Every structure is written in structure tokens, then in C-alpha cells.
A = this chain, B = another copy of it.
Amino acid sequence: MFMDITGKEIYKFCEELFPINRSLTGNGVRETLSIIKRELKDLKIHEIPSGTKCFDWTIPNEWNIVKAYIIDPDGKKIIDFRENNLHVVGYSIPVDISMSLEELEEHLYSLPEQPDAIPYVTSYYKESWGFCLTDSQRKNLKQGTYKVYIDSVLEKGSLTYGELIINEGCQEEIFLSTYICHPSMANNELSGPAVTSYLAKNILSKSNKRFTYRIVFIPETIGSIAYLSKNLDVMKKKTIAGFNITCVGDNHSISYLPSRNENTLADKAALHALEYSNLDYQRYLYLDRGSDERQYCSPGVDLPVCSVMRSKYGTYDEYHTSLDNLDFISSEGLYQSYEIYNKIIDIIEINKIYKSANLCEPQLGKRGLYPEISTLQTKNTVKNMMNFLAYCDGEADLLSIAEKIETPIWELTEIIDSLLECDLITVSN
């Protein structure tokens, strides 16, 4: 059903992208997108200049950082951006001063309840600077004068994102969105762009696609707002289902977060894939939202966008810390996410509307559709065929029939092929 991709490949892709210092803007994003473009050659890289108005927002200045460190009273470099790019608060302005520990403390961030984790902190819209460190390290800082150095640039530039349109020009689109603004963290978020890249490769490999696929790699929030501000009209007209792909790397749980509407084709397909694959999953409310569905589902935008995740952002201890690293995710976790999303996409692709060509049941026997030798499997096939025909009224789509007859939609494809071949059903759309 899917391309011959292994979880190890996706994991390796994560390893490659992991060390890059991504942020809302800047060269880390560009480098990330250029590696993704190596895999997806038609990916277009867009730049939106700082200062551009996007609905209520403005594209911020571009941030780049070369190096940053703290030298303690003994002259020892105790924190170094090169060791872990979480050490510097995102969007920190340049600093080159000496200060007492007391003054420094106001710029330090650590997690007393997770003494070995470096927290992830940003200050996109308020000029500021800071360092993040483990609470263990922080507790051992001695009194004295510290030298603080951040060699960063925060100035007019642009916001960078990637866009891949596959099978352009269809009347209906499927939308996939993932974000590329977090520095070295694995589940949230490298898993997102990694799995999405491989989903894109698989979509590219398929023939007979009924839909255009709009796939974006953007910075979270400002990126989705900016993208919507440029593309809302066409997206509102064409999008039949969309997915915000994030937190898809670990193997601890599966989560479903509905769209605001809660009952879109995206939601139905996602739930069908989860339910009929017998996967245990946690069902969240839209009130639990926290990523780009906040924009995609906002009033007036109202795109049919939901999320299937593994451990959901905000619900696991490692979230937004240095512990959300390559050990937290796994080949298995990434691959199963890839499988689930492929299944969801397949569900939407096969979800046509069929109509029985006859009134009353057709006579299956004269067409060889009624097996002469009855086995458990053939009995099940006949049962599914008769049940499908019983609801095949030219109005209900295949997905709703599958739910009605309590059967995975993918078990109906062979049956439908047989019935089409015998002219017992027609395709309505």
C-alpha cells in the first residue's frame, strides 16, 4: 500500500536535521528547508520580508546567532551555545557584558522540578536575552562576576517557509502542515517535518491521485498566519481535509485532536483510521488545542484541520526541554505515524460515492460473485458486499457506509472493484 520506506530512514532524517538551530526565522530554517528540498525537489522556498502585515500580525525581524556563552568567575566557559542550542533564549539580542550572579539570575531559565533538563524559552515579540540551563548546573553557580556574550543579529530580513504543491490544479485539495521553528528537539518538532517529508514522497509515488496536495513547512503561529494571509481564498474553496502534523515521533501513545468543527472529513477519516486499525488513542477536545489548528480552524478561516499525534505537546514531561531528544523518539514511533497518515490519506482518496445500478439486490450468483465454496473469508466478503450494496444509494459516501456497516473502508476496495467490473454499481463522484 505504501512506498517501501522504513522507520529507520525517517529516524536517520531526524538525526540529520536535529543539530540545526531553527527559530521563527533565520538561516537554521533555510538550512533545514534545503535538506528537505534535497528529498523533495519541487519544494518551493518562500521568503516574506520582515515588516509585512499578515492579518493582525507583522513579520518580525530575522534572527541569526553565531555564538553565545557564559564565562564564570573562575574564567571557565560554563554554558556554550555550541553544545546545545537550547542554551540561548530564542531571539536573544546581542550582549557582551559582565555582571554579578545576582544580575545574571534574572536572565537564567531552569526547571527546578526537572533538574537535568534544559528548558526551551523564546522571546519573539519582546526584545530580551537569556540563557537556559539545567537546574543542577544553576544551583552550583558561585558568587562573582560573570562574562556574558551573545553574538546574534536581530534585524530586518525575512521569514522563510517551504511549500510543496503536488498534482496541482485539482478542484479539491488535501492540506498538510508541519512546522520548522524549533531548535534541537525531536518529538516536538523534528518528527513533524520528517514524517511529513516521507508522506510527501509517498504521495508523489502514487498514481491516480484525485486531489491536489498542499504541503507546507512553516514556522508555527506566525508562519501559518502568514501562509493563510496569502492563500486563504483558494484554501477555503478547495480544502476538503487538512492535518497539522506535529509530535509524531515517540512510541508512547496516540492522540487525536479534532478540528473546531469536530465533524469534518479530516476528523472522520482520522477517526476511522484509528478505530478500525484497533489502535488505542486518547481523544482530546478542541479546547486542548495548541498548535497551528488555532489558526487554521479560527472563525472565518474554518479549514477542516485536525491532528493525529503520538504524545501530545504539553502532556509529556520531556516537552519543550532538552529531554525531548533523539532518545525520546523512535523508528517505530515515526513509522507508525507515517502509516496512520498514509491510511488517512488513502481513506480520503478512496472515499467516493457509489450508486447501485439496480433496484433490489443484484443476483450475485449469475456473475460468479457468490462463492461456490463457502469459507469464513468468502462469507465475510459476501456479507460486506451485500451490506455495502444495502447502503449504496448514490448519496452516502464510502466512509459513512463503512462506518454504518462496521467495516474498515480498506476492506471494501476489492469488493467495489468487483462490483464496478460487473456494472453493478456506478461512481457518482
Contacts from A to B (Cβ < 8 Å): 55-57, 125-126, 221, 224-225, 228-229, 232, 260, 286-287, 289, 294-295, 297-301, 355-356, 358-363, 365-366, 386-387, 389-394, 405-406, 424
Q: Shortest distance in angstroms between A55's beta carbon and chain B's nearest beta carbon?
A: 5
Q: Which residues of B contact A361 (CB under 8 A)?
A: 56, 221, 225, 294-295, 298
Partner of A365, one of B125, B297, B301, B387: B125
Give me 9 other A-B pairs in contact (C-beta within 8 A), A126-B365, A298-B390 excluded. Answer: A55-B358, A125-B366, A224-B360, A228-B359, A232-B359, A287-B406, A299-B355, A299-B356, A300-B393
Given contacts A125-B366, A365-B125, A387-B287, contact A295 B360 (CB under 8 A): yes
- Contact indicator A356/B298 (Cβ below 8 Å): yes
Q: Give A300's nearest chain B residue, CB to CB.
A: B359
A295 to B295, CA, bound (A): 49
Q: Give A295's nearest chain B residue, CB to CB.
A: B360
Q: Give A358's nearest chain B residue, CB to CB.
A: B56
- Contact indicator B390/A360 (Cβ below 8 Å): no
A365 to B301, CA, bound (A): 22
Q: Which residues of B contact A362 (CB under 8 A)?
A: 56
Q: Shortest distance in angstroms between A226's beta carbon and chain B's nearest beta carbon?
A: 10
Q: Give A226's nearest chain B residue, CB to CB.
A: B360
Q: Which residues of B contact A405 (CB under 8 A)?
A: 287
Q: Which residues of B contact A221 (CB under 8 A)?
A: 361
Q: Shortest distance in angstroms between A353's beta carbon and chain B's nearest beta carbon?
A: 12
- Contact indicator A299/B393 (Cβ below 8 Å): yes
- Contact indicator B294/A390 (Cβ below 8 Å): yes
Q: Which residues of B contact A224 (CB under 8 A)?
A: 360
- Contact indicator A55/B287 (Cβ below 8 Å): no
- Contact indicator A360/B406 (Cβ below 8 Å): no
Q: Shortest distance in angstroms between A126's beta carbon and chain B's nearest beta carbon?
A: 7
30 CB-based A-B contacts, threshold 8 Å: A55-B358, A56-B358, A56-B362, A56-B363, A57-B360, A125-B365, A125-B366, A126-B365, A221-B361, A225-B360, A229-B360, A232-B359, A260-B391, A286-B390, A287-B406, A294-B361, A294-B390, A298-B356, A298-B359, A298-B360, A298-B389, A298-B390, A299-B389, A299-B390, A299-B391, A299-B392, A300-B356, A300-B359, A300-B393, A301-B359
A406 to B288, CA, bound (A): 12
Among all A-B residue pairs, the 6 with the closest Cβ atoms: A299-B393, A56-B358, A56-B362, A295-B360, A225-B360, A55-B360
A298 to B359, CA, bound (A): 7
A300 to B363, CA, bound (A): 17
Q: Which residues of B contact A298 (CB under 8 A)?
A: 356, 359-361, 389-390
A225 to B362, CA, bound (A): 10
Partner of A363, one of B125, B363, B394: B125
A365 to B122, CA, bound (A): 14
Q: Shortest distance in angstroms between A74's beta carbon and chain B's nearest beta carbon?
A: 34
Q: Which residues of B contact A393 (CB under 8 A)?
A: 299-300
Q: Give A290's nearest chain B residue, CB to CB.
A: B386
Q: Give A393's nearest chain B residue, CB to CB.
A: B299
- Contact indicator B125/A360 (Cβ below 8 Å): no
- Contact indicator B394/A299 (Cβ below 8 Å): yes
Q: Give A294's nearest chain B residue, CB to CB.
A: B361
Q: Shortest distance in angstroms between A407's beta carbon and chain B's nearest beta carbon?
A: 10
Q: Which residues of B contact A225 (CB under 8 A)?
A: 360-361
Q: Shortest distance in angstroms between A6's beta carbon and chain B's nearest beta carbon?
A: 38
- Contact indicator B55/A359 (Cβ below 8 Å): yes
Q: Which residues of B contact A386 (CB under 8 A)?
A: 294
Q: Shortest distance in angstroms between A362's beta carbon and chain B's nearest beta carbon?
A: 4
A286 to B386, CA, bound (A): 12
Q: Which residues of B contact A366 (CB under 8 A)?
A: 125
A217 to B424, CA, bound (A): 29
Given contacts A126-B365, A392-B299, contact A228 B55 (CB under 8 A): no
